[in-house]
Amino acid sequence: MFPDIHYIQSVEESMALNRSKEPHIVLAGSGMCEGGRILHHFRHRMEDERNTILVVGYMAQNTLGRRILDLGEEYEKGGRQGKAPEVRLYGSSYQLKAEVKKLGGFSAHGDRDEMTRFLKESGLTIKKIAVVHGEEKQSLAFCEHLKSLGYDAFVPKQGQTIEM
The alpha carbon of residue 155 and the mean position of all alpha carbons in its chain are separated, in whole angstroms, by 22
Locate the DSSP E strands across the chain.
52-55, 86-89, 92-95, 99-102, 129-130, 153-154
pLDDT in tens, 32-80: 899 989 999 999 999 999 999 999 888 888 999 999 999 999 999 999 9
Spatial distance between the Cα atoms of 152 and 130, rounded to a whole number of angstroms? 9
Domain residue ranges in the chain: 11-102, 112-154
Helical axes 38-45 vs 11-19, angle rounded to 10°: 10
Helix (H, G, I), strand (E, B), or coil: what is residue 89? Answer: strand
Tell the CATH topology of 11-102.
Rossmann fold (3.40.50)
- This prediction has a pTM of 0.71
Q: 6-42, pLDDT tens digit by residue?
A: 888 999 999 999 999 888 888 887 688 999 899 999 9
